[in-house]
Amino acid sequence: MSRIGVIAGSGLYEIRGLTIKKNRTVTTPYGRPSEKYVIGEIDDTEIIFLPRHGKHHGIPPHMINYRANIWGFKKLGVKRILSISAVGGIRKGLKPGDIIILDQVLDMTKNRQATFFDGKDGVAHIDFTDPFCPELGKAIKRAGVKSKVTLKKGGTYVAVEGPRLESASEIKSFRILGGDVVGMTGMPEASLAREAEICYAGVSVVANYAAGISRKKLTVAEVMEAMKGTTGNLKKLLKAVFTMIPDERKCACKDALAEAKI
Ligand code: HPA
């Protein structure tokens, strides 16, 4: 049976269709993960699910214990994580409700514990040329075709500190830098997963036009509404992804530390 971790954010706090086997509280050297991990099955895949903001969305993006969350997955033997998140759309043509596969990162976060290697356990510089696992990304693209869920490609994710939304000028500058979408949780989640030698792929739901892209004031209700509207498509996509993951990992993620440590 293959196994995959799923970490999700705003608007997705459970996976419907999941036959839950158990909930696991996990302790880590970095403190407590956001929530108990829900372990269950869909078809022939074991799913380990974690809502990154907690079950009742009590943890804001800048307070998430990213290290504990990723460490917890590692401790549970997870080798691949599929990340679902809500984002603001920056690129022209992206609209609320669109689903996009992420392939690059611009990290604008400021105050986060972003590494497992802070000196005590040595020093490591992982390769992050491709922040998202290409093998897992390929499986998601194929799942999009199979489930007939349209996926936008070419997603450069700008990670911001939050919890406030951005100014129009910030979004304008991110667009000039090549940012396609903006969100608050993708980093350091992606790089910690790489340090843990876990494959990590990101699928984002465009919840709103980023600041200044449309004239409308941004509201949380709008974000939640867009997420709710795409749940059906996300569910279809996830179900298809679970059947498309190859048993053996052939990507470089599994050996990320091999030439990274000093
Ligand atoms: N900015 C940052 N994070 C977000 C947004 C946004 O516009 N929408 C959903 N998450």
Q: Which domains does the chain have, with CATH numbers?
A: 2-255 (3.40.50.1580)
d(CA 113, CA 59): 16
Residues 6 or more apart whose CB falls under 8 angstroms from that of 184 comprise 61, 62, 159, 160, 161, 162, 163
d(CA 228, CA 232): 8
Chain centroid to CA 238: 13
Banded pLDDT at 260 (limits 50, 70, 90): confident
pLDDT, tens digit, 9 for 90 and up, residues 68-90: 999 999 999 999 999 999 999 99
**For the chain, give me the number of helices (H) and strands (E)?**
5, 9
Tokens of 4: 């995959």
> Which parts of the chain are beta strand (E)?
2-8, 19-24, 37-42, 45-51, 80-89, 99-107, 151-159, 181-183, 199-209
Least confident stretch, 120-129, 226-235, 242-251: 226-235
DSSP H helices in 58-167: 66-75, 134-147
pLDDT, tens digit, 9 for 90 and up, residues 107-156: 999 999 999 999 887 899 999 999 999 999 999 999 999 999 999 998 99
Q: Where do we find the tokens 């158990």?
A: 22
Contact 187, 105 (CB under 8 A): yes
86 lines ligand 1 (CB under 6 A): yes
226 lines ligand 1 (CB under 6 A): no
pLDDT, tens digit, 9 for 90 and up, residues 160-184: 999 999 999 999 999 999 999 999 9
Banded pLDDT at 55 (limits 50, 70, 90): confident
For ligand 1, the distance from its centroid to the CA atom of residue 86, given in whole angstroms, is 7
88 lines ligand 1 (CB under 6 A): yes
Q: How far is CA 5 from CA 118, 152, 181, in A?
A: 25, 22, 23
For ligand 1, the distance from its centroid to the CA atom of residue 167, given in whole angstroms, is 11
**8-state DSSP, 89:** E
